[in-house]
Each structure stands twice: as structure tokens, then as C-alpha cells.
Structure 1
Amino acid sequence: MQLTHLLPAAVLGAGLVQTGVFPVPDTPYRVQWTSSELVDHARPDPFNSSHPRRIMISRFTPIPARDCLQTCRVPYMTPLMASHEDAVITAFLARGNISWPRGVLASLELEVCCKVLRRSSSSSKNNNARSFGVGLKSSVPRGTVLVGTGLNTTRLMYSASAQNLAAGMGYDVVVMDHPYETDAVQFPDGSVIYGGRVPRDPNATEALAHALDVRSQDAALVLDYLGIGQGCGERVGFAGDSFGGPAAADVMLKDRRVGAGVNVDGMMFGPAVNVGVARPFLSLGSPGHNSTSDETWARFRDATTANNSRVWHKELSLAGSVHGILSDFGLIGDVAGLRDSGELVGSLFGKITGARTIEILKEYLSDFFEFALKGKGQGLLAGPSQKYPELIFV
């Protein structure tokens, strides 16, 4: 395995005029953002055997606020990626005769920790990474959560949410791209691999099964890179949005290092639908999406119960949300002032604000992973909460 690294936006996006900044999470942590290219020379790319598998990841590492010596604002996306995503969103919305304001993505910034107090007692496998930070991590995060993106969707569309989750949970949060599936992946050398090899058609079962297997192998590559060995499942969770949901279950079947999984509004695919999983799993849907309306959820639930009767599994629903709950769309609607557009609210953002969505996700996912990975009490997962009435137990 060969690793190379890049500054995800500061270098390639320099010179942009920025107009919108995602709010810094109000927690005891600041967050360092590192993007890395991982190359596995032992595995030919499953979509293009002419070269070894190479992927991009974004890693969001929580830093105690006292140890973050400096923060800086960095572009949310490179100009190339912002332009490409504008085109993707425009084409998606055009089917409903809805317009997308091009240039919004290129105008956004994240505020991250870019200078970290060096502590001689700390160490990190990624010390030589080029990142938005200087020095070593001053403390070890409580664990690691992998984030799986929606089908064809760039990892960059999850950066603000990942930053918030890392700051709120105190976990390393790692978001993955999957070249040839992901709509576009830009590498440190400037090269770009465009997607389109995996159709969005839910009936394309063979192609989707192949994509799930590729994602599971990519996740194993990431865990190897992070230095997480077998027997460390109690420290690793997987939260997947849309197609990332079945990917979470698929990884859990194939890699015991992942000790807990979350499906955020994804239809289930792959072998897990029929055999379930053997470790804790949480399903979170948009209104009306649950095991009573989606037979893949029902089959997955029934298989989990039949084959692993003692395994914890619950279903929740987030009122006011739309598909893509874990993505940044809700926060983009907030920051870019786009919530006056009822059409965009209904299609991309949801009636619940991005700020409220991420607050709920931070609290419930934190309690879930502390329960599932650390053996603590269920916390908010024990039952309905007056503080979060939007979160409905199904």
C-alpha cells in the first residue's frame, strides 16, 4: 500500500472569493481536516484493471480547543469539484423544473484547526500527512467512525457534517470516495476520475452488489491505513447515508473491525438483506421510510432477528427531513440563505434546518456509538425525548 497526501482545498482552491462560512461547532473540540490518497498496489482497480486501486478520503480529527493554536478558513471544494457538482445538482433538479444557483458551492468555506499544539507524549500514524494542521494530535480520539456517502456522491458533500460529528462525538470521522462510482474524484496530482459506472437504478442488482463489495474493500483499505487491526471492532463504527447505509451492513458482514453500523435513509442491498448483521445496527429514515414501507428494511430486520436474536436494532424517523439526511445539503441551505426557496427545501434541504439536523445527529449517533462500541447505556436511544421531538421511534 502506498500513501500520498494533499491539502484538500487550500492549495487547489486558492484565490477564490469566499462568501459563506459553515458555523464552527460549539463543543470542547476544534477539528483538523486532512485529505489523503490511498493506493493499494495489491489490488487492481475493480472498474479499470489498468491501474491499482486508488481512493481519496477526508479525515476529520477532533482537537481539544486548548490545543488548537490557530484556526483558518479553507475552501469547501476546489473550483473543479464545485463546478462539477453544480452541474450534477442542476441536472438532478432539472427533472422537476427546479433551478440551482450555480457558484454557491465555490463560495463556501470551512473553519478548521490549522495549527495544533505539539505534545511529545502523543503519536499518530499519519504524522507525515500534509493537512490543515501543524504538529501532532494532542490526544487520542475516543474512536473512529467511517462515513459512507450516497451513491455517486462526492465525499466533499459531507465535509461540514463530518466536521460537526467529529467535534460533537470526539471521534475521528473519515469520509470515503469510491472512484468510478463517485461522480468525480480529484487527486493530489490534479488528475480526475469520473464516475458513472454504477447506475442509480435500484433494479440493477448485479451492478449494485458489485459496488457494495468494492466499497467494503475500500473500507478495509482505510482501516489498514488507520492502523486498526483485527480485534479492534469495539472502536470502529460506520454511518452510511443512502447507498452508504447498505454499505455499512455489508462492511459489518465482511470486516469484524467494524463493531456498529447506521443506515441513514438507504434502501438495503446485498447479502445483509437476507442474513442480517451480528452487531448493533441503527436505521434512521426520512418520514415514511421504515420497515413498514420498504420491504428491504423489513427483510433486513427480520433476518437480523432470526439469525442474531440478541443483537440490538432500532428504527428511528426524523420529522421534516428529506433524503440525504447525513449530507451537507441542509447546512448549505442554512449558510447560503437558500431556505426561502420552497422547491429547494422540498427537494434538497428539508423543512428541518441543517443546524437542527446536525444537532440531533450528533446527540443520537454519539449515544449510539458509545452504547454499541463502548458498552455504555442507551442514552437517547432508550426512548422518545422531549428535547428532540423530531426524532420518532418506529
Structure 2
Amino acid sequence: MFRAIRRSWLASPLRYAAVLLLGLALAAPVCAAPPKRFDLLPVSGPYQVGTFTLHLIDRSRTDGFVGGPREYMVTVTYPVAPHAHGARAPWLEAALVPEWSATTAGYGFAPGAVDWAGARRPALVGAPLLRRPHGWPVVLFSPGLQYFRELYSSLTDDLASHGYVVASMTHTHEAFYTAFPGGRVVRGQALEETVESTQMWLDTRVGDARHLLDVLALSGRGFYPGAEPGRLPPGWRGGLDLSRVGFFGHSYGGTTAAETMFFDRRVDAGIDFDGRLSTTYGPPQDLPYGPTRAARFGLDRPFLLVGAQGHTHLNPGDPSWPQFWGNQRGWKRDAHLPLGVHFTFSDFPAILPPLGDAVPAGFAADAYGTLPAAEAVAGSRAYVRAFFDLHLKGRPTRLFDAGSPAYPNFQPVP
């Protein structure tokens, strides 16, 4: 399934997303064994992490999908005070569990084979922010087209454990489903690709990111920005350093990171995990190639490309990466995972190994490739951390030029 999906993605992100849902109508056998359960892997940094969610409404924008004010959801993860206590956050909001269960049944998971509802992140709900004199640098995250922030929690929680406030978005009405407070679930719109619609999707994402930076600045002054009544974690006021801002994303989220940097100088550095820097791709699509502004003009701030299965700036199969590379004026590096696939950079390598025989045959390799799952997780975490440590904290590294024997499948591209 995922091998076919990967080829489809090279042609079109919408077709790629559509294929993922084709299996929903497939019947699966009833599972009689006790459900397998898992928790996300522990974080690798020196800090425990806390988390909370925000329902945000931007009344200055009209939602291009449905009209009315734009609303979206955010998860914020951050370093917490020593010896903090609290309940561990669920991997999925309760309202999303039926949606995800139906999706995985379409991939061949037997109904009831996995306790998706019981999965927990290492993050503690609402724990006090660990204070430091000048606040923590801030990093935004955006998921792949039609996907949701929860599927990347292993990366975002881990980055927070190394001394960052990380704010992850789900882009409502584009995403397959988004859970809002009170159990409300908003399912995604049927997306039809045109030159105008694909540009609207990207513009909406960039608008979400820029609004989120405004909201985080407001929260740093002690104002709770959510649509419903709520409180910020103790110690939040004055706890963010918005003079140091990064942005990373997977697939269309990487496209979003680069394009947000083009329009908003508040973002100092960005990473694109396997996302084309274009809205339309040319052949075999029936639409002209439409490079983003970041690809056409480059950026004057640091940007990292990380690709899989031949996706590098040397591969003309995706003209946007060579175009961006030639125009990029700031620091630039390219890393490649020959044995990885498009979703290597998601939570799949973190959550599938503990599930054992509950995982359908061949699904793991299709989901994250043939490199060891532990390396996929640790290597993705290390590249994100090293990049933002270098460009937001000034900590030197040779990782992007020499690689590391700890992650032999992550290869620097000249």
C-alpha cells in the first residue's frame, strides 16, 4: 500500500492523500486477542516536557475552505519544572480514536487489535513551564497535506525536551480530521486540485503559522489566547524567546515552513522533511509546474532539506529542490535517507515495533522503509535538534557535513 502511495505522492499530494483512504471500505477480520498497547518512546533530552492544546480563531481571515473566521488547533510542548507531576497526555484525543481506528482498519489492522485510546505521550498535561532568564526559543511544526499534528508527537515532544517551546498545528478543513474542545470533530473537505486551490491551501497554512506567532507573543505577555476559557501553565508569562524562532514540517508542512519564512522574517531557520517546494508539480499532473516563492527566490536564512528515496537537490524528478538550492542565499544543507520512505519522518517507526503481529504484513516497511526503526526515530530527532541548536542557540555541529556513525542511513548530500 505505502509503496504505491509513495509513487502517487511523487505525482500529486492530493492523489497521495486520496490513496491513503481507499482502504477504508476494506473488511478486516475480528480480532480475538487482547489489544496491543504502546506508549510513545521517552524523550532524549535533559528536561521532562509538559503540554497543552489551544483552539485558535483568527477573525482577521476568512477561511478559504468554508468561509467565516479561520479556526485551527495547536499542541504546545515545552520544558517543565524539575520533579513536575501530572497526567501523561494521550497520543490521540478521545474524539479522534474512532477516526484513526477506521483508517487503520483500512490498512489491514484488525478491529480492536490495538489500544489506540490507551497510548500516552511522555508529556505531562499543564505542568509548570521551567523558567530561565531569557525564555526558551520557539519552534513551529506543520504536518503533511491532509495529516494532523498528533502523528508527529515523537519528534515534537523530543525537541521540547532539549530546551524549546514547540507549537504544532493541524490545518482544519484540509486535514482528514481535527478534534476541537468538547469532542467536536471536523472532517476535511474534498480537495480538488487546481492552480488556484493548491495556492489557497498553502496560503491558508502560512496564515495559520503567522497567526500562531502573533498568538504566542500574546501568551508570552500572560494573556490566554484560546477560544474557550482557559489558563496558561504556571510560569508561562515571560517564558518565550520570540527573537529565536524556527519552523520545521513534513511533506506539505516542509513547503509551509519555507513559504512562511519567505513572508515572515520572524522565522529564523527552517527544515523541510521530504516536501516539494511547489504547489503544482507539472507532469504527470495535468497542471503546470508551480514553484513556491521560496523556490523561485530562495531565502536569506538557514534551511535544511531532508529527503528519502532519491529525493535530493541533485534529482531533477522534483525540480523545486534544485531550483531552491540554486536560489538559496542563506546556509543550506541536504540530507538523504536512501532506505527511508515518505513517512519515515512520522511517528510510525516509533509506534509500530511494539505492536508486533498486530501490524499487517509489509506495513512497517511501507510506512517507514527498511532502515532500523530505532535509527529512523533517533536520527530524525538528532537532525532536528542539531539544526535548531546550531541556528537558534549557536551550538556548533559537524553533523550536516560529515554525518554520524550513529545514524549511517542519514547521508549528507554534497
TM-score, normalization: structure 1?
0.79
Q: Distance in 2 between matches of 1:77 and 1:18?
A: 16
Letter in 1 for 2:205: R
Residue aligning to 1:222? 212
Verify the 8 A CA contact 2:348 2:368 in the aligned structure 1: yes
Taking a change above 3 Å as real, the CA distance of residues 238 and 134 of structure 1, as seen in their structure-2 partners, is closer
Deviation of 1:79 (Å) = 3.5
Taking a change above 3 Å as real, the CA distance of residues 72 and 18 of structure 1, as seen in their structure-2 partners, is farther
Structure 2 gaps, min length 5? 1-34, 221-240, 279-291
Letter in 2 for 1:111: P
> Cα deviations across residues 195-235 of structure 1 (Å, max 9, x unaligned)?
13435x6xx44322211111111001111111189xx7751
What SS does structure 1 have at the residue aligned with 2:92? coil
Given the alignment of the two structures, is residue 38 of structure 1 paired with residue 75 of structure 2, yes or no? no
Verify the 8 A CA contact 2:95 2:184 in the aligned structure 1: no
Residue aligning to 2:320? 296
Q: Distance in 2 between matches of 1:210 and 1:345?
A: 34
Verify the 8 A CA contact 1:237 1:258 in the aligned structure 2: yes
Q: Distance in 2 between matches of 1:177 and 1:295?
A: 28
Taking a change above 3 Å as real, the CA distance of residues 173 and 107 of structure 1, as seen in their structure-2 partners, is same
Deviation of 1:27 (Å) = 2.8
Q: Distance in 1 between matches of 2:311 and 2:160?
A: 27
Q: State how 1:208-357 maps to structure 2 within 5 Å.
A: 208-227=198-217, 235-269=244-278, 270-291=292-313, 292=315, 293-304=317-328, 308=329, 311-337=330-356, 341-357=360-376
Given the alignment of the two structures, is residue 112 of structure 1 paired with residue 123 of structure 2, yes or no? yes
Residue aligning to 2:85? 70
Q: Distance in 1 between matches of 2:359 and 2:55?
A: 38
Deviation of 1:327 (Å) = 1.5
Q: State how 1:51-90 maps to structure 2 within 5 Å.
A: 51-63=68-80, 67-90=82-105
Q: Distance in 2 between matches of 1:111 and 1:136?
A: 15
Runs of 4+ in 1 over 4 A off after TM superposition: 338-342
What SS does structure 2 have at the residue aligned with 1:208? helix
Taking a change above 3 Å as real, the CA distance of residues 20 and 376 of structure 1, as seen in their structure-2 partners, is closer
Taking a change above 3 Å as real, the CA distance of residues 53 and 289 of structure 1, as seen in their structure-2 partners, is same
More displaced stretch, 75-84 vs 339-348 = 339-348
Question: Which one of the candidate residues 145, 149, 164 is aligned to 2:143?
Answer: 149
Residue aligning to 1:371? 390
Deviation of 1:84 (Å) = 1.0
Deviation of 1:354 (Å) = 3.9
Given the alignment of the two structures, is residue 193 of structure 1 paired with residue 151 of structure 2, yes or no? no
Verify the 8 A CA contact 1:198 1:211 in the aligned structure 2: no
Letter in 2 for 1:241: H
What SS does structure 1 have at the residue aligned with 2:384? helix
What SS does structure 2 have at the residue aligned with 1:185? strand
Verify the 8 A CA contact 2:273 2:306 in the aligned structure 1: yes
Structure 1 gaps, min length 5? 1-16, 94-98, 114-131
What SS does structure 2 have at the residue aligned with 1:320? coil
Q: Distance in 2 between matches of 1:352 and 1:102?
A: 28
Taking a change above 3 Å as real, the CA distance of residues 249 and 134 of structure 1, as seen in their structure-2 partners, is closer
Verify the 8 A CA contact 1:18 1:75 in the aligned structure 2: no
Deviation of 1:164 (Å) = 1.8
Deviation of 1:148 (Å) = 0.9
Deviation of 1:101 (Å) = 3.9
What SS does structure 1 have at the residue aligned with 2:146? coil
- In the alignment of these two chains, the number of paired residues is 340
Q: Distance in 2 between matches of 1:46 and 1:278?
A: 30
Q: Distance in 2 between matches of 1:162 and 1:173?
A: 6
Verify the 8 A CA contact 2:155 2:380 in the aligned structure 1: no
Identity of aligned residues (%): 30
Taking a change above 3 Å as real, the CA distance of residues 190 and 346 of structure 1, as seen in their structure-2 partners, is same
Verify the 8 A CA contact 2:148 2:178 in the aligned structure 1: yes
